[in-house]
Amino acid sequence: MAPQMADRLRASGLHLLISLCVAALSAALVFLVLYPTPLAQACGVTEIFLLLLVVDISLGPLITLCVFNRAKPELKRDLLIVGLIQLAALCYGLHTVYIARPAYVVFAVDRFDLMYANDLDDAKLAPVTLSEFKQVPLLGPKTVAAILPADSGERSALTFSSATGGADLHQLPKYYRPLVQAKADIIAKSRPLAELNNFNRAETAKVTQLAEKYRARQIDAGFLPLKGKAQDVTVLINRADGTVLEMVDLRPWL
């Protein structure tokens, strides 16, 4: 092998290794923090972000393979430009998924919904009275309850808004409260895990495994639906105290 080609392969391989490390850290941020499983599937971000990573990881080392030449006086400049373009593309992708991240997993009436960070504008945050909901969570979604107002006129206005395409209960953070305040409704609306078999014919083994896991812990587990942009998933509930056990990638209805 010609010395120049060997140099190019070494440089490209090193670039690939660095790219893989950066991509792994980026994926951990997205899939473990911003969109913890199964919220990436619910939001439809998995395929898009993974495609971005594959393209970003591939193009940088390929360009390095093409341009690397120790004899070129502009080599450092060229490699710097390649790295900056690659980093800019990754930062743009991360910024896009960050601003569209789910900020809250909201229980409202009889199910959970997602409230996205880019939908929480100043007009929605201004009427918030509880300090813990005045700021959009920066890292990872918080699980909360949206409580219907006691005032009948306010309820009617909310119903009209929802029916005419305006903001629904879960989209208005002024109604957010700690999840424990909806404990009774969560318990009452939760359904037995066995019902998941009706909606997940190919995943009955997974449903059985979940049921056995919580039975072994002496936990009466049920579930509630979580409505997502791309896919609906399931929230597992402790039917004794109304707390969230976990979210799983199972269909909660047909």
**Half-sphere CA count of 5, side-chain side, radius 13 A:** 2
Domain ranges of the chain: 3-99, 102-186, 190-254
User: Residue 109 pLDDT more than 70?
Assistant: yes
Helices (H) and strands (E) in the chain, counts: 8, 8
At 77 the pLDDT is 85
User: Residue 245 pLDDT more than 90?
Assistant: yes
User: Residue 69 pLDDT more than 80?
Assistant: no
Structure confidence at residue 2 as a pLDDT band (50, 70, 90): low
Structure confidence at residue 155 as a pLDDT band (50, 70, 90): confident
Instruction: Give the DSSP letter of residue 148.
Output: P
Hey, what are 190's tokens?
């939760």
Region of poorest pLDDT, from 9-13, 111-115, 146-150, 192-196: 9-13
User: Residue 1 pLDDT more than 60?
Assistant: no
How does pLDDT run across 122-139, given as a tens digit for each residue? 999 999 999 999 999 998
When pLDDT is averaged across residues 148-157 and rounded to a whole number, the result is 85
- Three-class SS state of 230: coil
When pLDDT is averaged across residues 198-217 and rounded to a whole number, the result is 95
